[in-house]
Amino acid sequence: MATTRTQVGIIGGGPAGLMLSHLLHLQGIDSVVLESRTRVEVEGTIRAGVLEQNTVDLMVDTGLGDRLKREGLEHHGIELRFGGRGHRIAFDELTDGRAVTVYPQHEVLKDLIERRLADGGDIRFGVSEARVHGHESDTPSITFVDSDGNEQKLDCALVAGCDGSRTETRKLIPESTVRTDHFRQYPFAWFGILAEAPPSSDELIYANHERGFALISTRTPDVQRHYLQVDPNDSVDNWSDDRIWDELHQRVDGEGAEIKDGKIFQKSILQFRSFVCEPMQHGNLFLAGDAAHTVPPTGAKGMNLAIADVFVLSKAMDHFFVNSDRKLLEAYTATVLPRIWRTQHFSWWMSSMLHRLPDESGFGHRRQLAELDMVTRSVAGRTLIAENYVGTPLIF
């Protein structure tokens, strides 16, 4: 078994793992990223991407922003639609000029991979059977089988579990004595489509309708991403293209808005879950991103929260290696959890305010309309949405 030595072993080559490796490199810290998928699979998996101002700033400041600034679509607001009318939340006016940028997650991954490889980074694609050993000791290691079928061992000082919501590394934190999992399953799902069509709006539209929620989004000037609230047990087979467009028109069209149809080339159903693992560390193992928490997509927070995690974690690891001091590592969970729970609340709040609940009566929907009216009428209410949507500053 061949053995490699590095400072940080990172399991998972998604946004959290790759950004952590990038930030560590800028601080002179070596890492190896182990990813089960091939590079083609990583870069080819189409994922949504609404980047907070913090994420955009971090990418630009650390040399990842060239293509983002050239191809990303900067949005200075969103529209909340209810009662057949739109109500704009103006980010730039309410947050001192902050914005969000529509830039798909797979494009972020392409940028990260290209930069890491250009910087001489070590990313092992197509690995299997990755196992962490001795994470409670001072000499943890990771064994795995590489893409050629060879058994390998990676010795390291610290391990980062960035292996997504189907994580294996989280299981290393004992559930019965150390780890507490907080979980919520929502009684609705999103039916998502990708379509070749012109944009229906210059900004994202969040629509509350008596037939259910709808989201009008975009990927590129020629590809649009739209969602409909459906039952969690629904199937894509139940939805013809005509039915999808008809439902989108019914839920969104009205004063100042009209959906533009096109050719649908992808359909999927996205379940709604909230999850937080506490603590996010054990010994020399540290979780980040979806391995530690997931949020409903309503607030567009998943990737941004992962980036916020590794921003803090990279600083703590740097302090450890430079000063031989574990103080910031030990404080990692306590440092990131407040943002995580604020984000959970915002995502839950937006979801509960905009979606029809299956057991709610007319009272429930009228209450939602009153809440939306109250929020959009009030400068304080609009500011609360805007500040959370564009993201509060990263502070360490």
With the C-alpha atoms ordered 24, 25, 28, 29, is the resulting torsion angle positive or negative? positive
User: In the annotation, is 186 catalytic?
Assistant: no
Six-digit token string for 261: 């149809």
Nearest by Cα to 339 from 271, 284, 283, 292: 292
3-state secondary structure 145-203: ECCCCCEEEEECCEEEECCCCCCCHHHHCCCCCCCEEEEEEEEEEEEEEEEECCCCCCC
Select which of 75, 135, 282, 293 is catalytic: 75
Q: What's the Cα-to-Cα distance from 380 to each of 94, 385, 393, rounded to whole Å?
A: 9, 9, 19
Is 25 among the residues known to form the active site? no
Query: If you search the block for the tokens 């609230």, which residue do you land on?
Result: 229
254: amino acid identity, one letter: G
Residue among 103, 135, 206, 226 flagged as catalytic:
206
17 CB neighbour count, 10 Å cutoff: 28
Read off the amino acid at residue 22: H
Q: Exactly one of 15, 296, 297, 332 is catalytic; which is it?
A: 297
Sheet holding 285-287, edge to edge: 122-124, 31-34, 8-11, 158-161, 285-287, 281-282
Q: What is the pairing mode between strands 100-102 and 122-124?
A: unpaired
Annotated active-site residue 389? The verdict is yes
Is 297 a known active-site residue? yes
Candidate list 22, 76, 301, 355, residue with the active-site label: 301
* Residue 33 dihedral angles phi and psi, to the nearest 5°: -105, 125
- Residue 7 has a CB neighbour count (10 Å cut-off) of 17
Q: Is 191 left (phi over 0), alpha (psi -120 to 50) or beta?
A: beta
Do residues 216 and 207 lie in contact, with contact meaning Cβ atoms separated by under 8 Å?
yes
Q: Which residues are catalytic?
A: 75, 206, 297, 301, 389
